[in-house]
Amino acid sequence: MDTRSGSQCSVAPEAVLNNGDLVLPPRISRVNGWSLPLHYFQVVTWAVFLGLSSATFGIFIPLLPRVWKYIAYVVTGGIFFFHLVVHLIASCIDPADFNVRLMKNYSQPMPIFDRSKHAHVIQNQFCHLCKVTVNKKTKHCISCNKCVSGFDHHCKWINNCVGSRNYWFFFSTVASATAGMLCLITILLYILVQYFVDPGVLRTDPNYEDVKNTNTWLLFLPLFPVQVQTLIVVIIGMAVLLLDLLGLVQLGQLLIFHIYLKAKKMTTFEYLIKTRKEESSKHQVARKDPCAQIEDGFLQQGDGALGSSAQGAKVKSFLLIYKSPCHFCTSVNPDGDSSAKEADGVRSLSSLGVKARDSLQIYRRPSPFCSTVHPEGDSTAQEADDEPSRSSL
């Protein structure tokens, strides 16, 4: 890996805002989801999975009648085991581009990107950080600081990038987690209904033969029976049901979203770029004619605050007459020189026009009328006109 010093190292790492958080690339590229540091979302995910697994197979399934108990063990156990396998694979796979995996030394620190030398990290399918040629679908992930083939997104829940190498394992992880949540909700609802209808159906395990008190329940059957009161079972059941419902809503939305993406043959990254472009184009259309928007705003204000007075009617008539072209805006050319168009017609207006101009001063301060966007992206705003002389009245 190229670790040359000089101007390249004198430039700070590129920082990116991600949902309001400043993300700095790690100096050592991440290999997979188990590369340190672990993300707290990842820790929460595994803690919830282990907790739900213990509650499902140690508390709730043993309460089911004999036939349903075996079915639940097979179906729910199969789904949970499948989820465990695909979850581990999605986290363990290195989704990096083939050339990165072939030539990269993960123990070496990455060079720092110098934007004064290159406009983009990847140009002409060559990554200036990984120093390799990559394919068209490859993107350089700032969280992993490496090029990911078929980049979809960086998932905090598995603490790994999702690319073409592990996308279907990620998708299977989400789908199996959703299916497991549905199975657990079904079991919990059955137990809840039977508890109020016929509690004896839930006490068919042979270990209950020695339990005489109907308010005593056994957990972790059949290997480690633990006696608890009814209230404890109810609290555990309601807590697990609430957690399960919240997880199902989140996972269901994520699953539907990725089904939609596959139907559209898009990645998450492409979807986000497309959405940003659409929002940007809407903003450009909204700013295309700022003077017309301002005049429309005056007309709307006239309908409210001024509409009941003769002065408001005069202002509206004045704006309608001189609405095109706009006499109240100062345009700024790309070179930065501003040229104000004199409102010649306004100077020769009758006393009606003069009074209307004076009325407009109420609404002109403190904010300017128009702003134009500089070709480089900087916006400058200027007053539309010099303030009319009060002596004209």
Catalytic residues: 155
Nearest CA to 45 out of 144, 155, 119, 141 is that of: 155
Say how many C-beta atoms besides its own lie within 10 A of residue 275's C-beta: 10
User: Is residue 326 a contact partner of residue 295, using CB atoms and an 8 Å limit?
Assistant: yes
Ramachandran category for residue 30: left, alpha or beta (phi over 0 → left; psi -120 to 50 → alpha): beta
The backbone torsions φ and ψ at residue 370, rounded to the nearest 5 degrees and listed phi first, read -125, 150
User: Is residue 153 a contact partner of residue 166, using CB atoms and an 8 Å limit?
Assistant: no
Nearest CA to 327 out of 304, 305, 360, 301 is that of: 360
Report angle CA 245, 250, 253 to the nearest 5 degrees.
120
| Cα separation values, 386 from 128, 195, 342, 361, 389, Å | 52, 80, 10, 11, 9
The backbone torsions φ and ψ at residue 4, rounded to the nearest 5 degrees and listed phi first, read -60, 145
Nearest CA to 301 out of 372, 363, 241, 361 is that of: 363
User: Is residue 183 a contact partner of residue 60, using CB atoms and an 8 Å limit?
Assistant: no
Q: Which two tokens stand for residue 69?
A: 């108990």
Sign, CA dihedral 244-163-270-159, equals: positive
d(CA 44, CA 51): 10
* String of DSSP letters for 284-324: HHHTS-HHHHHHHHHHHHIIIIITTSHHHHHHHHHHHHT-S
Q: Which two tokens stand for residue 374?
A: 């500089």
Q: Which two tokens stand for residue 9?
A: 């190292």
Residue 17 pairs in a beta bridge with 22
Integer distance in angstroms from the first to the last C-alpha of the chain? 77
d(CA 187, CA 184): 5
